[in-house]
Structure 1
Amino acid sequence: MSEPLIFYPEGCRRAIFIRRYKRFTVEAMLDGEIVGVHTNNTGSMIGLLREGQEIFISPALNPERKLKWTLEAVLPFGQMIGVNTAVPNKMLQFAFEAGMLPEATGYTTLKREAKVGNSRLDGLFSDDSGELPMLWVECKNVTLVEDDVACFPDAQTERGRKHLTELMDLAAKGDRVALFFFVQRNDGNCFGPADFIDPEYAELFYKALDAGVECWAYEAVLSEIGIGIGRKLPLAACR
């Protein structure tokens, strides 16, 4: 079992989910009181937010923040599923620094939030010697599993389609490019695009693979202490 690379702050708690009533806010019951909890996950989190279920929340590090708690994970059927979308970007860096990302072997530097054109991608790997091509990586958080397949996205994603197009453009110029899908649950045996959610994304995903875009789908190792990186998931056979 992988040791955590990302640690939750002290003071995390389990609470009871009540409802999601704004894009970035859920209500929860904690110690007999209703509290507001911030969520940075703009996806649907389909099947994960059920009234009365347990959720895992962390205290806000900024005492001035209006919402004093952050949604880290949900436990819809006892299994811990991470929903914090800031995690994959952090894991890319920590796994690289820990030597646990074999795809980045030989690279010496990782720049996060690297600008390309009019937008930014989550990571840019470079090699001090200049012998290796630039390696651009976009990170995605995965919380949906259907029929043992970890799937992305869980909602229509124009932004995700834009990222695929940008990665294909970079591949055409000779750079290495990859998608890092971080699956924050442990019941998927392979990874595939969610064509039943966003068929346009799925079609573009396979075009991206044919154009040279790499797919790195890794399973998270979750506990109430923190998050580690586990096995790499193969691509689903169907396309």
Structure 2
Amino acid sequence: MSEPLIFYPQGCRRAIFIRRYKRFTVEAVLDGEVVGVHTNNTGSMLGLLREGQEIFISPALNPNRKLKWTLEAVLPHGDMIGVNTSVPNKMLQLAFEAGQLPETEGYTTLKREAKVGNSRLDGLFTDDSGKLPNLWVECKNVTLVEDDVACFPDAQTERGRKHLMELMDLAVKGDRVALFFFVQRNDGNCFGPSGFIDPEYAELFYKALDGGVECWAYEAVLSEQGVGMGRKLPLATCR
């Protein structure tokens, strides 16, 4: 089992999910009391939020924050599924620094939130010697599995389609470009775009692959201590 690269803060707890009643807020029962829990996941979290199931929450590091807890994972069937969308970006950097991301071999520097055009991508890898092309990476959190396939997205995503277009434009200019899909659950055997949710994204995804965009789909190793880097998932064969 991979050791965590991201560690949850001290004082994490299990609670019982009640409902998601705002975009960034869920209600849960903790020690017999109803508490508000912040979630940064703007996706649908399709099939993951069921009343009465266990969730895993971390205490807010800022004592002045209104919501004192953060949603880290859900446990719909006992196994942890990570829903904190800041994790893939952190993992990109930590896995690179730990030498656990072979696709970045030879690169020496990672710039987070790198500006390109009128927007920003999650990471830009460069080589101090200048021998390697710039490597642009966009990170995505994956929480949906259907028929053993880890799928992205879990809702219609105009933003995701925009990122695909930006990566394809960069590939045409000669840069390396990649999508880092971090699958925060362990029951998928391969990865593929969810054409049954966003067919336009799926079509554009395969067009991007044909245009030189790389797909890095990695499975997370989740425990109540933190998140580690797991196996790389192959791409689903159906198109």
Query: Do they fold alike, i.e. is TM over 0.5?
Result: yes
For residues 39 and 64 of structure 1, what CA distance do their matches in structure 2 show?
Answer: 17
Q: Please report how far the alpha carbon of residue 98 of structure 1 lies from its aligned counterpart in structure 2 after TM superposition.
A: 0.1
Q: Please report how far the alpha carbon of residue 79 of structure 1 lies from its aligned counterpart in structure 2 after TM superposition.
A: 1.0
Output one character per residue of 1:64-108: Cα deviation in whole Å (capped at 9) or x when no partner.
100000000000010100000000000000000000000000000
- Counterpart in 2 of 1:233? 233
**Secondary structure, counterpart of 1:16 in structure 2:** strand
- Counterpart in 2 of 1:108? 108
Output one character per residue of 1:136-186: Cα deviation in whole Å (capped at 9) or x when no partner.
000000000000000000000000000000000000000000000000000
Matched, 1:182 2:168: no
Greater than 4 Å deviation, 4+ residue runs = none
**Secondary structure, counterpart of 1:67 in structure 2:** coil
- Counterpart in 1 of 2:5? 5
- Counterpart in 1 of 2:61? 61
Output one character per residue of 1:24-52: Cα deviation in whole Å (capped at 9) or x when no partner.
00000000000000000000001000000
Q: TM-score scaled by structure 1?
A: 1.00
- Counterpart in 1 of 2:85? 85
Output one character per residue of 1:179-231: Cα deviation in whole Å (capped at 9) or x when no partner.
00000000000000000000000000000000000000000000000000000
- Counterpart in 1 of 2:149? 149
Number of aligned residue pairs: 239
For residues 68 and 11 of structure 1, what CA distance do their matches in structure 2 show?
Answer: 12
- Counterpart in 2 of 1:73? 73
For residues 61 and 97 of structure 1, what CA distance do their matches in structure 2 show?
Answer: 25
Structure 1 stretches lacking a partner, 5+ long: none
**Secondary structure, counterpart of 2:171 in structure 1:** helix
For residues 204 and 170 of structure 2, what CA distance do their matches in structure 1 show?
Answer: 15
- Counterpart in 2 of 1:27? 27
Q: TM-score scaled by structure 2?
A: 1.00
For residues 141 and 234 of structure 2, what CA distance do their matches in structure 1 show?
Answer: 16
**Secondary structure, counterpart of 2:95 in structure 1:** helix
Identical positions, percent? 90
For residues 190 and 77 of structure 1, what CA distance do their matches in structure 2 show?
Answer: 20
Structure 2 stretches lacking a partner, 5+ long: none
- Counterpart in 2 of 1:46? 46
- Counterpart in 1 of 2:37? 37
For residues 38 and 116 of structure 1, what CA distance do their matches in structure 2 show?
Answer: 30
- Counterpart in 1 of 2:209? 209
Counterpart code for 2:183: V
Q: Please report how far the alpha carbon of residue 236 of structure 1 lies from its aligned counterpart in structure 2 after TM superposition.
A: 0.1
**Secondary structure, counterpart of 1:160 in structure 2:** helix
- Counterpart in 1 of 2:124? 124
For residues 57 and 135 of structure 2, what CA distance do their matches in structure 1 show?
Answer: 34
